[in-house]
Amino acid sequence: MTKNVAPRIAFRFSLSCFSLSLLAGLLSIGCSKQNHLQSVIWTSSSNQNQPALLKSSQFTSKEISLMGREETIERAPQKIGAAEIDGTFLQKITDNKGQLIFVKSLYDVNDLSKLLPEIQKLDTLKFATLEKLKKTNQTLQSAAHVFAPKVLVLTNEGTPQVVYQLDFIDSSKAGIFRMLVSPSTGVFSIQRSSSAFEEGKANIFPVGPKSSQLAEVILANLTGDGTLTKENLKLTSQISEKAHSPNLVFDYDPQDVRFDQVQSFFYVDRALNFFQTRLGISLPFSLEIQTHFGAPEKLNAMFYYHGQIRLGTGDGVSYNNVMKDPSIVIHETCHGLIDALARLPLGTGEGGSLNEGFADFFTTVYLNNPNLGEVAYLKGPYKRTVQNDLKVSDKNGGLYHDSLILSGTFWEIRQKLGDQKTLNLAVKTLPRLGPNGNFDSLSTSVQYALVTGFMETDKIAVTDILKKRGWN
């Protein structure tokens, strides 16, 4: 805190959510989940009276008192009885003469005293409740440590709810998590509450060894235990030499078996990031990459099943360097995306071909390269290409052959509509296809997807391409 940046003009507001939403368009104030709480900012340089809440007995439970060189910072949550009110605080800054100079608070103005009996009761029972929960709840049972339970008031848009807050260190010691337990309905939320996120570094090929030089990249949000693990993604390997670095710098020679682990972790991580930033989708489950699958056997293994991606080394005849091939690793990751959006079948039937086709389509758009398998495939320049003219009448029942009809169609749409619109179209088409999607329902699913968010000229262009390719 420096004096120079302290606001010269004090302002004070206590807008309700309603008036905030009216202003939102003008001031771009977001109405967050705390929007029913009221906010105050006060500075001594204003001519305003000190906020009345400074005298309230609800803010006496000091959570921090930090004495800096020039200022002292104190913070307290708002409490009702033994319970904190979620999201609230009162922060005070005093100068070294003991004069109050700044106040900021988020607080609940409602009279919550009617909750006192319930809070009192839950507070008395908190340790007994924890012991009871431990008997039935696997997460708590296996936790490395459970902190003392607390009673918390969730303000829930004006309908307050008294719950237990249980902070614990998980069994793998990856971080501290917060469990919220309703006394009537049980556990309803578990969220990470520690900032155990670490940034790692790696030397890898950003877009594969054929299209890029070795470069240093950032591996963000690693849990920090030295392994390739983050909240939604972890890497395991079937060989004994595992990429592990206590300082999170993963720098191996490309010939080192650990290099491939880092390389494939990076590809999947970036693909997940692509799903978030370009498709607006965070996978609702975490992924596991199993590298060197089947080792010491050299397998052409590359498949996705229930959140797990298995990658072999390649047999050295048809494939090698499977884990270094961005198109293969990202293709498998895209099966996770498609699993979430549509749960199309894997490996069989028309639905399986659509699944493969969409996985190829997302991969090739992401890599901006229509060819798949350029790095790993040994028997030609690539294994498949989405740049093709195949029509529905060319269908022969081959899983990957028939997938090319779908991927070729979407690649052609992409050439007309551009990347973003075509990605949006694919993302909207998949849930409309659903688990029983097949070649017959593809065209209507695309039409359903086109209903909103596309221009008339886009719809015409897409419909023309579908017709030309023989999709009914």
Residues near Zn ion (CB under 5 A):
356, 359
> Closest approach of Cβ 303 to Zn ion, in Å?
7
Burial call 292-322: b when 16+ CB within 10 Å, e when fewer = bbebeebbbbbebeeeebbbbbbeeeebbbb
* Between 318 and 463, CB nearer to Zn ion: 318
Main-chain dihedrals φ then ψ at residue 224, nearest 5 degrees: 100, 10
Q: For residues 430 and 270, give the distance between their C-alpha atoms in angstroms, rounded to a whole number.
A: 22
* Between 223 and 353, CB nearer to Zn ion: 353
Residue type (1 letter), 159: T
Q: For residues 32 and 442, give the distance between their C-alpha atoms in angstroms, rounded to a whole number.
A: 39
> Closest approach of Cβ 285 to Zn ion, in Å?
18
Residue-wise DSSP of 320-350: --GGG-HHHHHHHHHHHHHHHHT---SSSHH
* Between 325 and 356, CB nearer to Zn ion: 356
> Closest approach of Cβ 439 to Zn ion, in Å?
18
Main-chain dihedrals φ then ψ at residue 241, nearest 5 degrees: -85, 110
CB 46 within 8 A of CB 20: no
Tell me the C-alpha to C-alpha distance, in Å, between residue 463 and each of 58, 422, 452: 64, 13, 15
> Closest approach of Cβ 330 to Zn ion, in Å?
11
Main-chain dihedrals φ then ψ at residue 464, nearest 5 degrees: -60, -45
* Between 89 and 362, CB nearer to Zn ion: 362
> Closest approach of Cβ 209 to Zn ion, in Å?
21
> Closest approach of Cβ 372 to Zn ion, in Å?
10
Please list the alpha-helical segments (H only) found in 162-235.
Answer: none
Which one-letter DSSP state was computed for residue 248?
-
* Between 84 and 356, CB nearer to Zn ion: 356
* Between 140 and 354, CB nearer to Zn ion: 354
